[in-house]
Amino acid sequence: MAQRVALFLLGISSPLILLTFIVGTAAGEWLFAVLAMIFPVALITLGAQRQGQLGPLAWLFGTLASFLVACVVVMLVWRGQILQAPWLGGLPLTTAVQVYGLFLSPLVLVSLAYAWTFESRGLRQDDLDDLRRRFGRDKPKS
């Protein structure tokens, strides 16, 4: 299920991102921003699934996608209004959202999720043995 949803999102967002980038309308800017935030989450989802399931990571990736979209919406709403917008951490709001929200938060969130779920979701010895069998690494050297 997770694989189908991720592939659907990737398949639909790729041409739409390109189209909105080329056309350049006001509505296209918003669509471009939202799809550009969903695209990497769909890629991460494909890499994190095991046998078509995400397990405990499903809520995390949904939260991550929602958070990234919210950050982009805030940036679009406050763009061009540096003097009127509030400041956060010594930075204008849009810059703070970009630095803290789009760059640092996903890095920390995905890293922690990887660490917390490594034992249950990471490579197991069976997986490594299967890879060795597939690629002929277990054959004795002559």
> Residue 103 phi/psi, 5° resolution?
-105, -55
Average pLDDT, the chain: 85
**Is 60 exceeded by the pLDDT of residue 141?**
no
The residue ranges of DSSP E strands in the chain, in sequence order, are 87-88, 91-92
Predicted confidence at residue 138, as pLDDT, reads 59
**Is 80 exceeded by the pLDDT of residue 20?**
yes
**Is 80 exceeded by the pLDDT of residue 116?**
yes
- Residue 91, judged by CB atoms within 10 A of its CB (0-12, 13-18, 19+), counts as middle
**Is 80 exceeded by the pLDDT of residue 40?**
yes
pTM recorded for the entire structure: 0.75
**Is 60 exceeded by the pLDDT of residue 61?**
yes
Structural domain spans, the chain: 2-134
